[in-house]
Amino acid sequence: MSVADIVYVLCALTSAACAVLLWRGYRQSRARLLLWSSICFIGLALNNVVLIIDVRMLPTVDLATWRSLPALLGVAALVYGLVWDVER
């Protein structure tokens, strides 16, 4: 296992941990910004997992589009939460 592999795994674990902590905070306080932030970090964690699959497991297949899709959806959810979701 190379240093790059370790960094990829640590990035995925960090994003997943952030998503879990944000989700727990949302369940306790019901602050909707925490919900949108946890969805964003779920997308970023999935992005990192697909990156590991793309770079390390399937080096001959280009998964760049599929790799970017979870991150795009996660950030789009966060932008939606920041711009259009009004606190009631």
pTM of the complete model: 0.90
| pLDDT above 70 (res 1) | yes
The 10s digit of each residue's pLDDT in 31-55 is 999 999 999 999 999 999 999 999 9
Element (H, E) at 24: helix 3-29
Return the pLDDT at 66: 92
Give the model's pLDDT for residue 85. Answer: 78
Per the CB < 8 A criterion, the answer to whether 74 and 39 are in contact is: yes
pLDDT at position 87: 62
Element (H, E) at 73: helix 64-83
pLDDT value of residue 88: 58
